[in-house]
């Protein structure tokens, strides 16, 4: 049998699976002795005893939803080679899915998330489908990247991690002007110590494919949140994570027009201006770990590149 050749490597297809075993970028691991179950398949994956490292990897994915292979190395403390090998086994067993999303500079790491079988193996809630939402996969991983960047590198730049939590349902608040219960679509909350003060960052990452009007509406909700009793003691900063500088520019432009959004029609100019001063935008690529240490942040008022500690000090009035 003559095999078709791509470049200098043969391309093998398993007729029992939709997975092409020799797709570019997927040559790091040998073919499995059995195919992983196809998406939506009701067939149970092969059963074997999971190692402790594998259970730890699955548990981390159950907690954080999507993590890159590099993030899993940092969270487990295991050697990179061990983590990559175990991820490969779990993928072939049908317990996790993974993909390398395209990026403008360099090559993306694997982004991993649980399958229904993987969630069942650790007693976690069945996850939603992610394979058709690469932007969402990257955004979810970016949330954890900000937290990890501050955890691992914050002290070196006078920024100390205090707390971190995911907000799967956003933040509810009562609109003081209308009495309506609303929700700010924040995805995570990060609390840091800066100059002896606590600063709360409400983090949003799903912005890449969001229309400009919707971005302005989200930022207007933030302005409304700042006027509620929820934000009276320690007004937070809204940190928006953008994958590329182009997306960051869209967010910054939307911040300038948030006053025109329907959600801001009951807000006065001072409330809108306060919200605009407390919006910061960070660019994730090409070096996500630089979110805590590199000048990749900007504000609507000053689009120069700032480090996180500088941009937080500027928008909160805290001396560094």
Co-location of 261 and 291 in the same domain: yes
Residue 26: pLDDT band (50, 70, 90) is very low
- Domain-ending residue, one of 112, 132, 152: 132
**Is the pLDDT reported for residue 127 higher than 70?**
yes
Number of domains in the chain: 2
Return d(Cα 203, Cα 281) in angstroms, integer: 10
Which structural domain range is residue 50 located in?
5-132
Q: pLDDT per residue over 205-235, tens digit each? A: 999 989 999 999 999 999 989 988 776 667 8
Q: Which two tokens stand for residue 261?
A: 């959004």
pLDDT tens figures, 135-172: 999 999 999 999 999 999 999 999 999 999 999 899 99
Position 291 confidence tier, pLDDT thresholds 50, 70, 90: very high
Same domain (yes/no): 213, 312: yes
Average of per-residue pLDDT values in the chain: 84
Q: What is the 3-state secondary structure (H, E, C) of 205-227?
A: CCCCCCCHHHHHHHHHHHHHHHC
Count the neighbouring beta carbons within 10 Å of the beta carbon of residue 276: 19
Same domain, 159 and 303: yes
- Is 236 a residue whose pLDDT tops 90? yes
Residue 202 shares a structural domain with residue 91: no
- d(Cα 91, Cα 57) in Å, to the nearest integer? 12
Give the pLDDT of residue 8. Answer: 38
Do 127 and 154 share a domain, yes or no? no
Given a cut of 60, is residue 15 above it in pLDDT?
no
- Cα–Cα distance, 237 to 308 (Å, whole number): 12
**Do both 206 and 106 map to the same domain?**
no
* Across 277-298, average pLDDT: 93
194 and 291 co-located in one domain: yes
């Amino acid at each position: 049998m003559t095999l078709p050749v791509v470049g200098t490597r043969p391309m093998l297809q398993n007729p029992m699976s939709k997975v092409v075993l020799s797709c570019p970028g997927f040559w790091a691991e040998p073919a499995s002795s059995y195919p992983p179950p196809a998406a939506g398949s009701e067939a149970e994956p092969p059963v074997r005893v999971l190692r402790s490292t594998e259970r730890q990897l699955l548990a981390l994915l159950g907690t954080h939803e999507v993590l890159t292979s590099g993030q899993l190395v940092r969270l487990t403390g295991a050697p990179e080679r061990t983590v990559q090998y175990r991820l490969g086994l779990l993928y072939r067993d049908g317990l996790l899915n993974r993909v390398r999303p395209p990026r403008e500079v360099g090559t993306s790491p694997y982004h991993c998330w649980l399958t229904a079988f993987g969630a069942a193996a650790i007693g976690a809630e069945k996850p939603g489908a992610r394979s058709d939402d690469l932007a969402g996969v990257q955004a979810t991983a970016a949330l954890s990247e900000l937290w990890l960047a501050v955890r691992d590198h914050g002290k070196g730049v006078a920024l100390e991690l205090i707390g971190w939590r995911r907000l799967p349902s956003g933040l509810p608040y009562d609109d003081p002007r209308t009495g309506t219960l609303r929700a700010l679509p924040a995805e995570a909350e990060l609390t840091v110590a800066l100059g002896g003060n606590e600063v709360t960052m409400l983090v949003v990452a799903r912005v890449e494919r969001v229309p400009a009007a919707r971005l302005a509406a989200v930022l207007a909700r933030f302005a409304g949140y700042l006027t509620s009793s929820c934000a009276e003691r320690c007004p937070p900063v809204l940190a928006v994570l953008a994958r590329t500088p182009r997306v960051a520019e869209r967010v910054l432009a939307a911040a300038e027009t948030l006053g025109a959004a329907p959600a801001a029609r009951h807000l006065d100019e001072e409330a809108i201006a306060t919200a605009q001063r407390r919006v910061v935008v960070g660019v994730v690529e090409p070096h996500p770990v630089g979110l805590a240490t590199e000048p990749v942040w900007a504000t609507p008022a000053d689009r120069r590149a700032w480090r996180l500690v500088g941009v937080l000090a500027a928008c909160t009035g805290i001396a560094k």
